[in-house]
Amino acid sequence: MTTDFPEPIRVPVNGVELEVFEAGREHAGRPVVLCHGWPEHAYSWRHQVPVLAAAGYHVIVPNQRGYGNSSRPADVTAYDIAHLSGDLVALLDHYGYEDATFVGHDWGAAVVWGLTLLHPERVNAVVNLSLPYLERGEKPWIESMEEVLGGDFYFVHFNRQPGVADALFDAHTSQFLRNLYRKNTPQLGMAPIDLARAAAPLGEPVMSDSELAVFVAAFEASGFTGGINWYRNLDRNWHLLADVDPIIRQPTLMIYGDRDTIQRSPRLAEFVPGVEVVSLDCGHWIQQERPQETNQAILKWLDQRR
């Protein structure tokens, strides 16, 4: 690992093992859990870990199931929100914590929203980046996306053509990640698949070659199927959340990137009444594109809650 990113440990949780990086253990009792997105890695929080630890927090950063050296179950349904949130609950149990502040980016934000709905007593505050709260709606999410955005939209494609995207990303891991991690975010539709095929990247890189090499090595070892299986559970998650109180009652910080292609939620405050919103001048990879501004926003908000 480049920089001073912590060495990992392996933690048994919820029938799997997670690769976990931690810092600031001397601040036991003030846990902050950082949850990465797709196709990411705990290392995507490398700019936040030392700063949060220096500010007096016990920082816990798992590679979630399907990623890095964490377990990669074969069963697609092993990646639904019940399992993903169950892993985080078990991680708190491992450290002896009743609750924690959870920070999520992209798919990690989706998991943190789901965790907070399913296990509200284990979450004392929420900080989410990029992906706002997703209203449940009347139809399952993939079904709705297919109607509105068509079968080529990558969420739908991942579900309707299992294995196709996985194989393409596995065959072009370095090219795909190099093209993806740019300061101009890809457009909708088949964007990730187009990026895997593109010979030349567009725009400025988000990270150095040595940093990118960490992601490439991780996905060359793990493949992409585990992470893509998170997408393949969206409709299952819709059913799993049917009887849950849909309101997030914890204090919440939502950080958007002004140039992110993920749409903001116009009704966020209806479902997350305690939300404070911050916008940064960046694209999708918020905490990697604007690390100092992200750190300042998170620490300022956490300090107000002390």
Quick check: is 119 catalytic? Answer: no
Q: How many CB atoms lie under 10 A from the CB of residue 165? A: 20
User: Which amino acid would we find at residue 305?
Assistant: R
Crossing angle between the packed helical segments 209-222 and 173-180, to the nearest 10 degrees: 130
Select which of 83, 105, 157, 284 is catalytic. Answer: 284
Alpha-carbon gap, residue 151 to 157, rounded angstroms: 6
Beta strands in the chain (DSSP E): 9-13, 16-23, 31-35, 58-63, 100-105, 123-129, 252-257, 275-280
With left for phi above 0 and alpha for psi between -120 and 50, is residue 286 left, alpha or beta? alpha
Select which of 106, 157, 166, 260 is catalytic. Answer: 106
Q: Which two tokens stand for residue 250?
A: 């914890």
Quick check: is 284 catalytic? Answer: yes
Q: Which residues are catalytic?
A: 106, 284
